[in-house]
Structure formats: structure tokens, C-alpha cells
């Protein structure tokens, strides 16, 4: 077995840095979005100062939760004891990568929802509370990818993977990279869907129920790539293979990269489809059933690339020997 020593601490602190550094990036941009449209809104409607200010602050708080999740993991990694073996050290690094990359998308996406709520509040300050409630629902769904990433990080930190062998290290790193990269696309995509749905509510408050339905459906389907990434992460975490085979090590690692990177595009793409659907419904509510069906079909085709990535990841995990 390899002696860990200082290298364990090195990997642990590297993970903590990656976690809060990257995790704060998305939320920072997202909170700026909320502030941007909040300020714009107040300059257009100074009379609705209070409402817009409230919406802006709550939107920023919702956006900030992505970086708070990253902060939790970073604090745990900073204060947890020195890893006893090499696997544990790499698990800590992988936990940092997972939550750091995962925070990128969700922070950015939640910011888009907050931005739209500020714009809607500037347009119709009387219905501010409706926009706030819908924004919170939208942001809660936008947080799903980072919640998945947080779960994988916590499992990586608190489960024990004894020993120090190549295949386990590959699997652990792959698990973190898979859910980390995989949640970027869906985070941004679900945020885009929420953005146009809430903007639409600002234009047509009477259609808010319809728009909420379209938003939830579009977001739920836009999360499918992240769910595949979660599946691959769980398989990599619990597969339990051991050994020092270099080919299997690379196979495990690249299974994570394949699924994670393969989920970015489809996540943004199917979110874009949901955004278009929300816009369409807000402009022409009578066409809701046709719009919904077309959106689902478009999303299904947009996600086919993530399905290919899933198939390749499965082959890399189970077939390559």
C-alpha cells in the first residue's frame, strides 16, 4: 500500500479549494443577474421600489444556496482529519470536484429565475407575491442538479473506501466528475426554462397556472441528463472493483468524463426547448397542448446524445476488461 502522508492533505485541501472556488462562480454570476434586473426595474418603476427590492433579495438568497452547499463541503473538507489511505484522499478530491462543478450550473440557472422575477415585478408590482412563489418553485427545481452533486459528495466523504488501488481511485474520480460536469447543463437549462416562464407570468398573470405547469414539465425533462449522470456516479461508487489494472482505471475515469461531459449539451439544449415552450405559451395560451407535445418530442431528440453517452459509459464500466 502507498504511504499517504502529506499527499492526503494535499488532495483534501485541493478538493476544498475546487469546491468553493468553482461553486461560488455560478452563484456569483447568478446573483448579479438578479441585481441587474432589480436595478433596471427600479429605474423604470421607482414607485414599486419595495416590491422589486424584496424580490431581488429573495432571488439572490435562493441563488446563493448553490454556493452555500459548496461552502458546506469545503468546510467539511478543511476540518476533517487527514485521510488514512490513498483512496480516501482521492474521494475527498472527487467530492470537491463534484460540488464545485455542480454549483456552476445551478447557481447560474437560479440567477436567471431571479432575474425574470425582478423583471416581472417591475412590470406588475401588484402580483409580486405570485412571482415570488413561482420563482421559489422554479429555483427549487433548478437546485436539483446541485442536490444530486451534494449527495454524491457526501457519500464520497462519509463512506469508507479502504485501500489504495488504481481501479477504485478511477471509479471515485469518475463518480465526482460525472455528476459534477453532468449537472452544469441541466442547471443552466432548467434556469432558462424558469426564466421565460416567469417573464411570461409578468406579461399575462392570468396564465400563471398554465405557465407553472409548462415550466415544471420542461424543467423535469431537462433534468434527465443529470439523472443519467447520477446513475453512472452511483454505479461507479458502489461497483466495488479492486485492482491495479491501468486499462480498467482509465475506463472507470473516462466513463465519468463521458457521461458528465455528454450531459452538458443536452441539458442546455432541452432547457432551451422548455424556454421556447414557456415563451410560446405566454404568447398564445390556446396552443398549450400542441406546444407541450412538441416540446417533449424536441427534448427527447435533444437528449439522445446523452443517451449515447450513457451507453458508452456502461460499456466502459461493465464490458472493458
Helices within the chain (DSSP H only): 6-44, 49-79, 86-123, 128-142, 144-158, 166-203, 208-222, 224-238, 246-283, 288-302, 304-314
Site pattern 126..145 for another protein (x: CB under 8 A): ----------xx--xx--x-
Site pattern 7..46 for another protein (x: CB under 8 A): ----------------------------------------
Q: How far is the CB of 235 from another protein (least distance, A)?
A: 12
Site pattern 198..217 for another protein (x: CB under 8 A): ---------------x--xx
Instruction: For helices 246-283 and 304-314, give the axis angle rounded to 10 degrees.
Output: 160
Select 122 or 291, whichever has its Cβ closest to another protein. 291
- Check residue 173 for interaction with another protein (CB under 8 A): no
Q: How many residues does the chain have?
A: 321
Site for another protein in 67-106 (CB under 8 A): 72, 76
Question: Per CB under 8 A, which region of 18-26, 86-94, 226-234, 271-279 contacts another protein?
Answer: 226-234
At 163 the three-state DSSP class reads coil
Select 6 or 286, whichever has its Cβ closest to another protein. 286
Give φ, ψ of 38 to 5 degrees. Answer: -65, -45
Closest CA to 295 of 198, 188, 236, 211: 211
Q: How far is the CB of 125 from another protein (least distance, A)?
A: 25
Question: Up-side HSE of residue 50: CA atoms within 13 Å toward CB?
Answer: 3
Q: How far is the CB of 283 from another protein (least distance, A)?
A: 19
Q: Is 254 left (phi over 0), alpha (psi -120 to 50) or beta?
A: alpha
User: Considering only residues 148, 177, 178, 316, which one is a binding residue for another protein as defined by CB under 8 A?
Assistant: 148
Select 28 or 285, whichever has its Cβ closest to another protein. 285
* All three cell numbers of 283: 404568447
| Interatomic CA distance for residues 2 and 269, integer angstroms | 44
Are 236 and 257 within 8 A, CB to CB? no
User: Considering only residues 167, 221, 236, 263, which one is a binding residue for another protein as defined by CB under 8 A?
Assistant: 221
Q: What is the Cα gyration radius of the chain?
A: 21
Q: How many CB atoms lie within 10 A of CB 319?
A: 8
**Residues in the site for another protein, rule: CB under 8 A?**
72, 76, 136-137, 140-141, 144, 147-148, 150-151, 154-155, 158, 213, 216-217, 220-221, 223-224, 227-228, 230-231, 289, 292-293, 296-297, 300-301, 303-304, 307, 310-311
Amino acid at each position: 500500500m502507498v504511504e499517504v502522508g502529506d499527499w492526503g492533505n494535499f488532495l483534501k485541501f485541493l478538493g476544498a479549494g475546487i469546491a468553493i472556488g468553482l461553486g461560488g462562480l455560478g452563484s456569483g454570476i447568478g446573483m448579479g443577474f438578479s441585481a441587474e434586473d432589480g436595478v433596471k426595474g427600479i429605474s423604470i418603476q421607482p414607485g414599486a421600489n419595495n416590491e422589486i427590492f424584496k424580490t431581488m433579495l429573495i432571488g439572490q438568497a435562493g441563488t446563493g444556496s448553490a454556493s452555500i452547499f459548496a461552502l458546506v463541503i469545503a468546510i467539511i473538507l478543511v476540518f476533517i482529519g487527514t485521510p488514512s489511505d490513498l483512496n480516501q484522499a482521492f474521494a475527498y478530491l472527487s467530492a470537491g470536484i463534484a460540488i464545485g462543478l455542480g454549483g456552476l450550473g445551478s447557481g447560474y440557472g437560479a440567477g436567471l429565475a431571479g432575474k425574470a422575477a425582478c423583471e416581472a415585478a417591475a412590470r406588475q408590482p401588484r402580483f409580486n407575491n405570485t412571482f415570488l412563489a413561482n420563482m421559489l418553485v422554479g429555483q427549487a427545481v433548478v437546485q436539483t442538479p446541485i442536490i444530486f452533486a451534494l449527495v454524491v459528495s457526501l457519500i464520497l466523504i462519509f463512506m469508507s473506501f479502504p485501500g489504495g488501488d488504481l481501479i477504485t481511485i478511477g471509479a471515485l474520480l469518475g463518480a465526482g466528475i460525472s455528476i459534477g460536469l453532468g449537472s452544469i447543463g441541466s442547471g443552466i437549462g432548467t434556469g432558462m426554462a424558469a426564466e421565460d416562464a416567469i417573464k411570461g407570468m409578468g406579461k399575462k398573470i392570468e396564465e400563471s397556472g398554465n405557465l407553472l405547469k409548462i415550466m415544471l414539465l420542461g424543467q423535469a425533462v431537462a433534468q434527465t441528463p443529470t439523472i443519467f449522470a447520477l446513475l453512472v456516479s452511483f454505479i461507479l461508487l458502489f461497483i466495488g472493483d479492486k485492482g491495479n489494472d491501468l486499462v480498467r482505471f482509465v475506463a472507470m475515469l473516462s466513463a465519468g468524463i463521458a457521461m458528465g461531459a455528454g450531459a452538458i449539451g443536452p441539458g442546455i439544449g432541452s432547457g432551451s426547448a422548455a424556454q421556447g415552450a414557456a415563451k410560446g405559451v405566454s404568447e398564445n395560451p390556446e396552443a398549450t397542448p400542441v406546444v407541450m407535445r412538441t416540446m417533449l418530442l424536441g427534448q427527447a431528440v435533444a437528449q439522445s446524445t446523452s443517451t449515447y453517452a450513457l451507453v458508452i459509459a456502461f460499456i466502459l464500466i461493465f464490458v472493458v476488461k
